[in-house]
Chains A and B, each alone.
Chain A
Amino acid sequence: MTDNAVKKPRAIKGVSEELTEFFTCLILHMLVPLLPLIIETWKMKGAPTEATLAITASMYSISIGLSSRNKAVFSLALFVGILFSMAFGFSIGTDTSVDSLPSVKFGAVVTILLVFGIHACERYNKHVVECIPFWNFGKRGAS
């Protein structure tokens, strides 16, 4: 190593391109669909209703499952989506004082978090481990 190389100031390492792709995907693909739920929680100044949580869990599972590359994750997420859409249908016609509704709330919140986790694992694999770009604007051979 030469003297010039020793004197050269060390550059600050930023986030790698692979991690940037991953975080872009997390924000644009996985957090934006949850915006209506976040805004409802904010505007209602409290927890959203069971029906909102159930329909969000259903739509989120279906939409995230459809973008999965894994057939097992795709079909299981679709099934979870169908179950929550049925739960939504039953919960809007149910007496609000019954005991089963808190479990709908809990189930929907945990399922949304799990679906987020499932897809985050898959996207980490895709963008960070396999280095497949999320978006490749204006470049040939985009995926």
Chain B
Amino acid sequence: MNISNFIAEITNLIPGLLSTLGLVIAAYTMHKSSSFLRYRLQIERKLAHNLALELKKRHIESQVSCELNRLEIRGSLDSDKDIQEIESEIHSAIMSAIQQLVEEEQLLIKESLEQPSKQGQFHYIRKLLNNSLQELSHQKA
């Protein structure tokens, strides 16, 4: 075989080889990305479970509900003091639920809770409560 023909054939094969290599690396990255997502969802489920137990322990689950993405307080509130009391109870319930996670998981949750966007912080807390209240309602059912 002529050496120049051999080089030309190899050069023709290179695009296919590079593409295949790129495809393999992309598939590996996809695996990494999806496994991190599964890990994060697992932590969220664990936190929702812990928070549900904390809410039950403090009897808050009967006082608050999450409807149409809005957190609502059931029954009548006599004063601002009552609202502050519920707020502080929810705050301490979230903190206790986070304390039950391992350090690595706590860091991930704290990152979301202390994100720069206030809107994001509020949405995250509401989602945590919503998940926990849903878990409690599933337990009842």
Interface set of A (CB-CB < 8 Å, partner B): 11, 13, 16-18, 50, 54, 57, 61, 70, 72-73, 76-77, 79-80, 83-84, 86-88, 90-91, 93-95, 98-104, 106-108, 110-111, 114-115, 117-119, 121-122, 124-125, 129-133, 136, 139-143
Contacts and interface: CB of A to CB of B under 8 A. Distances in A.
Given A104-B15, A130-B115, A110 B23 contact: yes
Contact of A87 (B15, B28, B121, B127): B15
Contact of B18 (A84, A110, A121, A129): A84
A114 B26 contact: yes
Contacts, number: 163
B36 to A, nearest CB: 7
A138 to B, nearest CB: 11
Given A73-B29, A114-B30, A17 B69 contact: yes
B94 to A, nearest CB: 14
A106 B13 CA distance: 14
Among B15, B28, B124, find the residue whose CB has the most chain A CB atoms closer than 10 A. B15
A91 B117 CA distance: 46
B123 A131 contact: yes
A79 B37 contact: no
Contact of B120 (A76, A111, A121, A132): A132
Contact of B16 (A17, A93, A101, A119): A101
Among B19, B27, B119, find the residue whose CB has the most chain A CB atoms closer than 10 A. B19
Contacts of A124: 37
Contact of A100 (B16, B69, B123): B16
9 contacts: A76-B26, A80-B22, A107-B16, A107-B19, A107-B22, A114-B29, A118-B29, A131-B121, A141-B119
A104 B123 contact: no
B21 to A, nearest CB: 6
B69 A121 contact: no
Given A18-B127, A131-B120, A139-B119, A111 B26 contact: yes
A90 B21 CA distance: 15
B18 A86 contact: yes
B19 A84 contact: yes
Contacts of B118: 139-141
B32 interface: yes
B28 A136 contact: no
Interface string B1-44: 00000000001111111111111011111101110110011001
